[in-house]
Amino acid sequence: MSEKKIIVTIGREFGSGGHEIGKKLAEKLGVNFYDKNLIEMAAEHSGLDLSVLGATDEKAPSPFVSPYAPTVSDQLYRAQSEVIQQLAQKESFVIVGRCSNTILDECADPINVFIYAPLDVRIKRIMDRYLIDSPEKARKEILRTDKIRRGYYQYYSEYRWGDREGYDIMLDSSVLGIDGTVDLLFDFVHHKFK
């Protein structure tokens, strides 16, 4: 692998295992992994209140706010963007969500990944993971979370969430499983940087 910084952004459907895949890929590459922990870094960076920021992570602003003042979502987005862009200047990393492909578009050359899976597979994963006993409850939670992520992404990005235009590679994680998908993404990084 060359000296170039390896930056991988991962967008993901809820329940597709995208977060776990990102974490394992970071371990395998030996680089840092960023997810929700970016909120703390953004709070520190911006001086904003951590508890307020935490409640708006990956959510678009409510339509019922003044269009003239930046919302908490906007402030968090800006603070996270600055933190992510600064990280890209100094290290290799894997990051999930947070519109990171859009944020890094101009200032770095990330590998942009999107992970998805059939709804029935995601329902099973969410039921197991969060000990939910009803498939219907899991299904609703998946649709609700995806809707929030889609809204956040499309509020801040010019692309549509999960649409090929915004990504270099898109994978159905149910085909190779979590570890197989990690291995393939590792191969992708290797092919790009070899």
Binding site for its own copies (CB under 8 A): 111, 114, 116, 162, 164, 167-172, 175-176, 180, 183-184, 187-188, 191-192
Give me the least distance between CB of 44 and its own copies, in Å please: 34
Give me the least distance between CB of 117 and its own copies, in Å please: 10
Strands (E) located in 13-151: 32-34, 93-96, 111-116
Crossing angle between the packed helical segments 135-156 and 119-129, to the nearest 10 degrees: 110
Kindly report the number of other CB atoms within 10 A of residue 39's CB atom: 22
Give me the least distance between CB of 192 and its own copies, in Å please: 6
Nearer to its own copies, 148 or 170 (CB): 170
Give me the least distance between CB of 169 and its own copies, in Å please: 5
Nearer to its own copies, 26 or 189 (CB): 189
Nearer to its own copies, 87 or 117 (CB): 117
Residues 6+ apart with CB under 8 A from 68: none
How far apart CA 3 and CA 95 sit, in angstroms, is 19
Token pair 């692998």 in the structure block, residue: 1
